[in-house]
Structure formats: C-alpha cells, structure tokens
Structure 1
C-alpha cells in the first residue's frame, strides 16, 4: 500500500520505501527550491540536513588549488549526504552543491537517524543505495582512467539526461571543464566533435541531447554499470 503523499513524490528512493517507513519521514520533509551553486553540504563541516532531490542535479566534488572535480552526481534517484550519515560519521571532505537548479525535500539528520534505528527495512534500503552511489564513484574513476574526453563527456551527458526532464542541459563550458577535470579547450573540442557527429547541439550555456543512442555507443562501458546496479538494488530490476 502506498502512502497518499508518497504517490506525488518524484524522488525514486522515497518512492521505493514502504508506506510505513515513508510515514516516519513525511512529517520532517521540507520542500525547497534550490538555486544553482547553492552549497548543501560544505567540506569538513557537520552535516545538518540531507536532501532527497525531486528535480535538478546535485554534484559532489573533490576540491584542490585549481578548483573542484566532480566525483559524484545525485538527482531524483538518490539522497544528498548519504555517505557520512549512513556510515556513522558527521562530515565528509567533499563539497555537495546544486549543479542544475531544482527542488528537493530536506530532512534534518536526527529524524532520519531515528527512522533508520526504528526500521531495519529502511536501513537496509538506504545501505543498498549507498552501495549504488559507491559503484557510481568507482565507475567515474574507471572512466577517467580509461576513456577519452569525448567518451567521458558522453557519459556525463547521459547521466544528466537520466536526471532531467527534456533534452537540454544548462551548463557553461568552463564549469563543465571543472566537473570533468580537464582544460576548457579540451571540453570545447570534445563538444565540437560530438556536435559534428550529430550526437548533441551545443550553444552558449546549453547542451541539447540529439541522439542518445549515439552517446551511449561512444560512452561504451563507462556508462550503464552504475545505472543497472541502482535498478537492481533499489527497484528490483
């Protein structure tokens, strides 16, 4: 049986929990509209809230002197802040912020902890989600080590496409370069190559996916493993 409020939820993780467990969380969920580059969890600071995205894209970055590199991406399939809280910590050395503006359901740490302590099925589901997130991060390392910039860009666009409504990704080239950990000139050339092959259309601040199948062919095995793991673990596919 589905909780009445649960039927209107777009977050796939919240939709996967039982009606009873959703009832534990529902009174503490606060809907927020989040602007681009809003910091949700700052590096090495106590985590106070977690976020179940309903729309938009949220990046996890490792930061250095030359800027940040994306090491994880969360959208409406997941939970922002899962790693430190579910592993018994209260902080993490990575930045969590809004990459594409959207909406999220925010919950304070204490009621989520209480719900997890009261419900073994909820704990098990969130730990399975944690595994799916770890697989995504490891696939990112694999892609960065073994694939060309064009293939990595194709993978990144597919991941964004999975989390957005429509075919447009609103992002600037210099920001995309930081996310992929490459020079801006490399991103520009890669975008030109993808556009020339009919895979995308690139305009200032906006990339439109034209042919998803061609992007998947280019991304090859860098894309799909994490997505299949999420479906298996969370949705029983």
Structure 2
C-alpha cells in the first residue's frame, strides 16, 4: 500500500544527513511503477531521477535491429539517472520497470543543485556510480563467457537482493529479453534449476526454494557485484540502520 512507503526504504536517501534530506524531502514525489512502464527512452532528456523503494528498474541497451539486453538493474540500493550528474543530460539506455512497486521521483535540477554543493550527496552518488559501473562491466563479461544457466542464477540472485520475498513475477520471455538470449535457452536453464529443486516456476511466477544452492550454481559475477556494492556502500547501510532506529 502507498501508506507503507517511506523514502528511507531507499538506501541512498536513508544515508543522507538530516540537513541534506530536509532539503530534498519536500521535492520527493511518491510514484507507482508498473511492470513494463518505460521511465526513460534511449537518448531522452532527463527531467527526473528516481529512487526506487520496492520497484526494480532494468536498464536496457537497444540495438539497431530492435533487440536489446539488460546492462544493469536499479532497486532500493540506488538511483536511476546517473547521467544527470556525470556530465550529460541524456541516457544511452532505456529504463523499464522489471518489478512493479513504488519509488520516489525528484526533479533533475533539484538533485543537480544538491550535487553541486560538493558535499556528502556528491560523494555518495559518485561511489554508487562506481558500483553501478562494476555491475554493468560484470554483466557484459558474464553474457560473453558464461552459460545461460549461470546468467540466470546471477540475475535471480541480484533480483532477490532487492526484494523482501523469494517470489518473482516474471515470464521466461521477459527473462530472455533481459539476458539477451533465446527463450528456449531460458526454458532449458530454468528446467534444470527446477529439477534440482532450486526454483519452482509456473505461470509467470518464480519461487526460489534454495538460495544457497542457487549461489553455488552461479558464476563469480554475482559475488563480484555484491562485494563491490558492499565495499563502496558499507557505511551507507550502517547509517541507514541508524536512521531507521531514530525514526
């Protein structure tokens, strides 16, 4: 429900000092994000940035022939729209809602003004950006060198890290589009994981039954991304815990 949403559910917003949060909070607008909604088109001007709380956004790179694949995902750990403060005003990727939920929208110029104060917000966003670049780089390596089954495990684990449940609403066709592979490949990979009782899949719903087993099946790419986010944003999680306790 909308009433259960709070900006502090986003790790970056929760990490802000009181003065910084107080400057931004009047401008935060709660928005519902539905599965399949397109928040940015490739090459589009950034009018807003988004801080997801319960939604997950997938960044897709589009090819000239219309095909695409996911280059990264953004959930409650981060912010959508890093191109804004990295020196550009457009994004080369399409941003599509992968998991429906909520998030907070902020006008681009408001965040940019805060970023240009060269305070904690700037340092926090730059560290998050470094972690996101690692995520993108590792995704490219994984898609080139690892099996569809390993890619599927990586994708499932990264998605689970952003959810409070072990159930995902996602068709195999959508997963295939995320990974940039044929649907048949995803069907075979998901079937092998189901035979091993690691997941259960039916009618567009995936339930992870054995997370530890899924981690054993995944390639090293999941661990690399998770460790980099933890290394760069470990104090973010600490301050978030303190903020939650204060509230």
Say whether residues 1:69 and 2:69 are aligned partners: yes
3-state SS, counterpart of residue 9 of structure 2: coil
With structure 1 as the length reference, what TM-score do the two structures score? 0.93
Rounded Cα–Cα distance in structure 1 between residues aligned with 2:121 and 2:17: 8
* CA distance 1:8–1:59, shift in 2 (3 Å): closer
Aligned residue number for residue 89 of structure 1: 88
Take 1:146 and 1:204, find their aligned partners in 2: how far apart are those partners? 30
Deviation at 1:220, TM superposition (A): 3.1
Are residues 28 and 8 of structure 1, via their aligned partners in 2, closer, same or farther at CA, if it must alter by over 3 Å? closer
User: How far apart are 1:119 and its partner, in Å?
Assistant: 4.2
Mapped to 2, the partners of 1:218 and 1:118 lie a distance apart of 45
User: Secondary structure of 2:142's partner?
Assistant: helix
Whether contact under 8 Å (2:7, 2:53) holds in the other structure is no
Hey, what's the Cα distance between the residues in 1 that align with 2:114 and 2:66?
A: 40
Superposed counterparts of 1:4-43, under 5 Å? 9-43=8-42
SS in 2 for 1:76: coil
1:81-120 equivalent positions in 2, closer than 5 A = 81-82=81-82, 84-120=83-119
User: Offset of 1:235 from its aligned partner?
Assistant: 2.3
Seen in structure 2, the aligned counterparts of structure 1 residues 89 and 8 have a Cα distance that, compared at 3 Å, is closer
Q: For residues 122-201 of structure 1, what are the structure 2 equivalents within 5 Å? A: 122-201=121-200
* In 2: Cα distance, 1:31 partner to 1:208 partner: 28
Q: Secondary structure in 2 aligned to 1:163?
A: coil
Give the corresponding residue for 2:80. 80
Provide runs of 4+ in structure 1 moved above 3 Å. Answer: none
Whether contact under 8 Å (1:44, 1:92) holds in the other structure is yes
Give unpaired runs (5+ residues) of structure 1: 1-6
In structure 2, the residue matched to 1:4 is none
Q: How many residues align?
A: 231
The equivalent residue for 2:207 is 208
Counterpart-to-counterpart distance in 1, 2:35 and 2:170: 10
2:223 corresponds to 1:220:
no
Q: In 1, distance between residues paired with 2:147 and 2:122?
A: 38
SS of equivalent residue, structure 1 residue 9: helix
Aligned to 1:234: 233
Superposition CA RMSD, Å? 1.5
Moved more, 191-200 or 142-151: 142-151
Once the two structures are superposed, the pairs formed by residues 41-52 of structure 1 within 5 Å of their partners are: 41-52=40-51
Deviation at 1:100, TM superposition (A): 1.0
The one-character-per-residue Cα deviations of 1:67-117 (angstroms, maximum 9, x if unpaired) are 2200010110010111x1121100022101111111000000111011112
| Conserved? CA contact 2:56–2:73, under 8 Å | yes
